[in-house]
Amino acid sequence: MIVRLGYVAMSMSVSNASPSKTMTATQFLKLEDREAAIRKLERIAAENIHNTLRLLKHNRAHDIIMYRCSSKLIPLIGHEALRGWNPMPVLSEAFAELGSYAREHAMRLSFHPDHFTVLSTPRDEVLRNSLDDLDRHVTMLEAMGLDESAKCNIHVGGTYGNKKTAADRFVSRFEQLPERIKRRMTLENDDKTFTALETLDICEKVNTPMVLDIHHHQVNHEEGRDSAPELWPRILRTWEGEREQGSDRPLPPKIHVSSPKSEKDPRGHADFIDARVLMPFLRSISALTPRLDVMIEAKKKDEALFKLVEDVREEAGVTLLDQASFEL
């Protein structure tokens, strides 16, 4: 099994390259000239996109082909104070340059919209905002010129007092999504509500790939039922038919990995990844899985990736392929 590693949004190695620079709503509203304030937002967004490109160049230097873009590339987008604002025409060239670089170097990009993007909500206003947010994320991927291999990952959401009703509501809303959005989606199990098994059941109903989060599964599962390796053959099948950017080659399934911050905070994310927990899972699925992409959700971002590679180097049966991938 070939394993490729990626990380989320920020680099600990590249200075002054935040892709999430912003302006608060209070700051925006204090500016008397609204048009000038909007131009300032657009300049910040352009800088965030440029910094993302800088991070992709850093990634290429370290053989990292998988990266999750910040959802905060465009500050205040969707805020009620900016209703009707469409920055995409101004940012189209910057997004196109970013996507061109990703395509040229066969990089796998994704988004993970924030936790307030929930399709299981019973509230109409929250649903409207969630649908708008998904549309914005997909619009950014389209502006980059990336095909449907570039995904948006979300959780099923809250249970609102009745898990079955919430799940049914999610399925109904998901099936009503525009095709251009639906084909970009993946679903992930969470650490408090929908378990891996429950999320997998929903993925099979709506025919969308599942991203297994190992850490979430550790802290949220039914004791004695459905271990991650037992669920894996079904999870693999949800990825059937997915293809890499501009290719007929199968898109590798993706998982998320993080380690508990502490015994007191088992759901929080630690700075680094505990390879002693990750490697047994990887070994258990290796015979079934030719290629796997692993998104690292650790506080130390790319530093955690580099440390994991060093830790994995010491494992039996592991061959490093480059600075960010190995064969097991």
Using 50, 70 and 90 to split pLDDT, how confident is the model at 225? confident
What is the rounded distance in angstroms from the CA atom of residue 90 to the CA atom of residue 94? 8
Q: Which is more confident, 30 or 226?
A: 30
Q: Is the pLDDT of residue 164 over 90?
A: yes
DSSP 172: H
Query: Which pLDDT belongs to residue 267?
Result: 96
Q: Which one, of 71, 75, 69, 76, lies nearest residue 110 by Cα? A: 69
Which structure tokens are listed for 202? Answer: 């929903």
Query: Which pLDDT belongs to residue 111?
Result: 98
What is the rounded distance in angstroms from the CA atom of residue 76 to the CA atom of residue 42? 10
| Mean pLDDT value across residues 132-150 | 98
Query: Which pLDDT belongs to residue 141?
Result: 98
Which structure tokens are listed for 64? Answer: 């990292």
Q: Which one, of 177, 187, 91, 109, lies nearest residue 148 by Cα? A: 109
Q: What's the chain's average pLDDT?
A: 97
| Mean pLDDT value across residues 115-132 | 96
Q: How many CB atoms lie within 10 A of CB 54?
A: 15
Query: Which pLDDT belongs to residue 224?
Result: 74
Beta bridge partners of residue 326, listed in sequence order? 3, 320
Q: Which one, of 328, 326, 327, 322, lies nearest residue 61 by Cα? A: 322
| Mean pLDDT value across residues 25-45 | 96
pTM over 0.85: yes
Query: Which pLDDT belongs to residue 276?
Result: 94
Query: Which pLDDT belongs to residue 222?
Result: 86
Query: Which pLDDT belongs to residue 223?
Result: 81
HSE-up (13 A, CA, CB side) for residue 74: 23
Which structure tokens are listed for 149? Answer: 């291999």
Q: Mention every residue, 6+ apart, whose C-beta is less than 8 A from residue 143.
A: 88, 91, 92, 95, 96, 99
**Radius of gyration of the chain from its Cα atoms, rounded to whole angstroms:** 20
Q: Is the pLDDT of residue 226 over 90?
A: no
| Mean pLDDT value across residues 269-277 | 97
Q: Is the pLDDT of residue 215 over 90?
A: yes
Strand locations in 156-191, DSSP E? Answer: 185-188
Using 50, 70 and 90 to split pLDDT, how confident is the model at 30? very high
| Mean pLDDT value across residues 42-71 | 98
Q: Is the pLDDT of residue 17 over 80?
A: yes
The overall longest dimension of the chain from CA atoms, in Å, is: 64
| Mean pLDDT value across residues 248-269 | 97
pLDDT in tens, 185-204: 999 999 999 999 999 999 99
Q: Is the pLDDT of residue 110 over 80?
A: yes
Cα angle 247, 249, 254; round to 5: 110
